[in-house]
Each structure stands twice: as C-alpha cells, then as structure tokens.
Structure 1
Amino acid sequence: MGCSNSRSAVKLTDEDVQFLMKNTSYTEKEIRDWYKGFQVDCPDGKLSRDKFIDIYKNFFKGGNPEKFCEHVYRTFDEDGNGSIDFKEFLLAIGITTSTNAREKLKWAFKMYDVDSNGVIELDEMTRIIKALHEMLGDEAVSAFEGEEAAERIKDIFEKMDANNDGKISLEEFLEVCNIDDGLAKLLSLSGEM
C-alpha cells in the first residue's frame, strides 16, 4: 500500500494537536479526524513516496503525475527524511487548501526552488511547469513542447526576475504574484485564490 505494514502506531499527542491547531485552521476534532484517516492508510505513521504518487494517479488518470509528485512530496517532507509523517502531511494540506494566498505562494515558491537554495532559477521553473503539464495529460504535454512554450516560461521568469540577476527570490516571486492574479493562480497551482 506504500506505507509500512508495521503496526507500531504513532500516537497523536496533545502537544501535536495544539501545534497543528496553532499552525493550521483546523479544529481539534478535524485534526483527530484527519489523523484517523491517515492511520488507516499509513498505520506506521509514514506516507511513502509511492503511496503519495498512487493517490495523485487517482485524480489525474489521463496524465503522468510521477515527476510532479516528486516535487510536491519533496516540499511536504519538511525534515527531508524520505517520508511524510502526519504533522508534515496536515501542515501541507493546510497550506495547499488554505484561503491565504500568501501562504500558498510561499509554499509554491518552495516547490519551484528544487535545490532549496532560496531562489528559483529558469531550469527549476521549467522542470516544475513541464512536470505539471505531464501530470495533466497528453493535451497539456503537447502545449508545453516546442519553442513557443519555452519562450512563455522564459517570459514569465524574466517578468519575475526584477533585478535581472537570473534568479527569482521569494520577494520577487511574491511581488509579481501580488500584482498579476492570473500568474499567481498558475504558479501556485490554484484555480482560486
């Protein structure tokens, strides 16, 4: 199933609940409900990369979500240990489903910053957008191929790179997204902001 078959259940402590209530918009009951569901799928308390990809495949049957999922998974795996525990999972769900546009954009920035060096470079942006198109399926992949698509990505990148240093900082990313709602929706992978 993608989670270890070990039944050494990880307990949700009161401190965990308090932390999650403080850092998400979920109530104690919602957190405990999420936890019950997480334990059903991941009784050892760890969501594997493969299980995560299987979940995404259910939503994007016409495409290949694997490359995109690797980037999302990397962003969710805050401590970089190769698995997502319940706290990482709920914090990420809280951000990606939040109505707080700034928090969504900060999360999206982390996903685009593939090497985690604090800036987005053109090749990183290209990799994420290409992976997104592959996930969406054949029609989206063909829209990405070719010089025209590469030019569109380059144009977006140059628009965001306000100081023309070949890198997009978090501040540049947020500034352009605050001005251009359409671009913010595209880059934060959100249909609504």
Structure 2
Amino acid sequence: MDEEDDILGYYNYENEFEEHSQTIIRYKPRPIEELVKETRFTRKEIQLMYRGFKQECPSGIVTEQMFKEIYSQFFPQGDCSNYARFIFSTIDQNSDGTVNFEDFLMGLSILSRGTIDEKLRWIFNLYDINKDGKVTKEELLMVITSIYELMGKFTNPLIDESTPKQHAETVFKKLNPKQEGVITMEDFIQTCYNDESILNSMSMLDTVF
C-alpha cells in the first residue's frame, strides 16, 4: 500500500479500529479504487463515509432492525418502521437481509449524484415491493401509507385512514396511463420525464453533497 493509499484509503482506519475494539469485523469492503470507479464519489469522500458507517455499525453489517433503529432517530415523531423496511429492501442489492458499506454507498451515489434515469429506476424499485418488475396499486398504497406514518403528527392537516388511499389512487392513475392494472418501469419513467415537477425534485437531490 503506497503513501497515498495510507492517507486516503480506509483500511488504515480499519486496522486502528480493530486494535481498540472487541467487535468482530464481519465484512470488509472491496478496494477503494474499485468503489471510486463504480460510484460518483472521490476517495476522500468514501473514506469519510466509511468512518461514519463503521462508527454506527462496527461489524460492517447492518440488519433490517438496526436500520430501522437508526432511521427512527431522524423521525422521532412518527413511525418509520414500514418505510425503513422498504428503503432497506431497495438498498439490499442481493436480498440477503443485510446491508454492507458497498450497498449503502451504491444507493447513496445514485440518489445524490446519479442521472435522472438512475434515480427514477431506484425509486421504482422502492415501490416494487415484491421485486417482480411491476408496481400494483396495493404496493403503491403500502409505500404511500408508510410515508404518512413516517411524518406522524407533522402532517397538516392531520390525516385519516382514507387520505393515503385517495393519494395512492390519484398517483396510480397518473403513473398508469394505459390502465393495465400495474405500473411498469417503462410507464413510470416516461410519465415522470413528462412531469416537470418530478424532474425538478430529482435534480434537487444533486445538491446533497
């Protein structure tokens, strides 16, 4: 490992961590050079994010329950359990029930610096709960309901049980122009590209970093 790797890589931190912790390291990411090539982050950014990730998750692995607990810190007034479950499933690229640093980094790269097309595909996968390539009205309702639960008492006006259903009905009609009973990836992307408000919201994610 050359001097630059020692300064900007993350394995120097990994070694330091192992020396001062009894936690078993269950997962180590691939070489940082590979992650730089596969994401839109610099070496220094990846190093900093890895440090933060390991401080929250010393073993290098995040379970769904751990993810929900971390997520709940950002939404203390609402119930984030269902929405966090859907996010976790989308980040969990190999569907093994765990998220590692690479899973986290790939998802963050898309959402913060990906193309509009990449972001829309990621969001479609979020709504495609059973990962069959189609979004049903029921799946849409489940995700929309989870968002209302997430906001808790901050929704104004306060919602009743019918509000998410009405919202889902409106969105489903908009995203299902062919009235085929399901939303396909193609329909979703095409409809979103034709909606200026959606495109603007996608562009705003570029300012995260």
Q: TM-score, normalised by structure 1?
A: 0.84
2:118 to 85, 94, 103: 103
Q: Is the 8 A contact 2:64 2:98 kept in 1?
A: yes
Query: By how many angstroms is 1:191 displaced?
Result: 6.3
Cα 1:191–1:32 change in 2 (3 A) is closer
Equivalent in the alignment of 1:93: 108
Measure the CA separation in 2 of the matches of 1:48 and 1:149.
28
Q: Please tell me whether residue 169 in structure 1 is matched to residue 184 in structure 2.
A: yes
Equivalent in the alignment of 1:127: 142
1:7 to 5, 19, 24: 24
Amino acid at match of 1:143: I
Measure the CA separation in 2 of the matches of 1:192 and 1:76.
17
Measure the CA separation in 2 of the matches of 1:38 and 1:13.
15
Query: By how many angstroms is 1:79 displaced?
Result: 0.7
Query: By how many angstroms is 1:99 displaced?
Result: 5.6
Q: Is the 8 A contact 1:72 1:111 kept in 2?
A: yes
Q: SS where residue 82 of structure 2 aligns? A: helix
Measure the CA separation in 2 of the matches of 1:191 and 1:51.
28
Q: Is the 8 A contact 2:141 2:164 kept in 1?
A: no
List, as ranges, runs of 4+ consecutive aligned residues in structure 1 with deviation greater than 4 Å.
183-186, 190-193
Percent identity between the two aligned chains:
27
Measure the CA separation in 2 of the matches of 1:92 and 1:172.
22
Q: Is the 8 A contact 1:71 1:128 kept in 2?
A: yes
Query: By how many angstroms is 1:39 displaced?
Result: 1.8
Measure the CA separation in 2 of the matches of 1:115 and 1:165.
18
After the TM superposition, which of the residue ranges 96-105 and 36-45 deviates more from structure 2? 96-105
1:143 to 159, 168, 171: 159
Bigger CA radius of gyration: 2
RMSD: 2.4
Amino acid at match of 2:63: S
Cα 1:163–1:61 change in 2 (3 A) is same
Q: Is the 8 A contact 1:133 1:144 kept in 2?
A: no
Q: Is the 8 A contact 2:144 2:164 kept in 1?
A: no
Unaligned runs of 5+ in 1: none
Q: Is the 8 A contact 2:91 2:107 kept in 1?
A: yes
Query: By how many angstroms is 1:112 displaced?
Result: 0.1
Amino acid at match of 1:145: E
Equivalent in the alignment of 2:44: 29
Q: Is the 8 A contact 1:64 1:134 kept in 2?
A: yes
After the TM superposition, which of the residue ranges 97-106 and 167-176 deviates more from structure 2? 97-106
Unaligned runs of 5+ in 2: 1-21
Equivalent in the alignment of 2:89: 74
Q: Is the 8 A contact 1:130 1:144 kept in 2?
A: no
Equivalent in the alignment of 1:44: 59
What is the aligned residue count?
A: 184
Q: Is the 8 A contact 2:78 2:149 kept in 1?
A: yes
